[in-house]
């Protein structure tokens, strides 16, 4: 498999414009897993944004907590590793933000239910 990948990259190298060469050859550029892993992680962000349309009672607090925590932890990690990977940093900021936003929706929903229950009891 890696021989096929190296063959594809060697062919693609010939077609990369000079202006894109620094990006293409960067240690965290498209020739490496350091580019592709965070790029596919954007799927988590898209899923988190899609969950905004879901009712708050159907959201998972453990899942939202895990997304928020991993987003924050890995965003920090991406600033201390070498090579610096700004794609990894950005995607993790967004993963953390969507997790925190969903957690805030869950908390607000539960507070509103508690307030309604308190009104009914009076």
- Measured CA to CA, the distance from residue 81 to residue 96 in angstroms comes to 19
Share of the chain above pLDDT 90, in %: 52
Higher pLDDT, 6 or 96: 96
pLDDT of residue 1: 60
pLDDT higher than 80, residue 36: yes
Cα distance between the two ends of the chain: 69
- CA-to-CA distance for 60 and 63, rounded, in angstroms? 5
Rounded Cα gap, residues 92 and 112, in angstroms = 30
User: pTM score, two decimals?
Assistant: 0.79
Q: Where are the domains of the chain?
A: 1-27, 32-121
- Predicted confidence (pLDDT) per residue in 46-57, tens digit: 999 999 999 999
CA angle 108, 110, 113 (to 5 degrees): 110
**What confidence category does residue 69 fall into, taking pLDDT thresholds of 50, 70 and 90?**
very high
């Amino acid at each position: 498999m890696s021989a096929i990948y190296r063959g594809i990259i060697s062919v693609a190298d010939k077609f990369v414009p000079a202006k894109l060469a620094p990006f293409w050859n960067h240690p965290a550029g498209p020739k490496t897993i350091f580019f592709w892993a965070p790029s596919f992680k954007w799927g988590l962000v898209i899923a988190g944004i899609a969950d905004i349309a879901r009712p708050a009672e159907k959201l998972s607090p453990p899942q939202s907590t895990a997304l928020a925590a991993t987003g924050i932890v890995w965003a920090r990690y991406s600033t201390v590793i070498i090579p610096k990977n700004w794609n990894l940093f950005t995607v993790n900021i967004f993963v953390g933000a969507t997790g925190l936003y969903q957690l805030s929706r869950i908390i607000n929903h539960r507070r509103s239910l508690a307030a309604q229950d308190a009104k009914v009891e009076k």
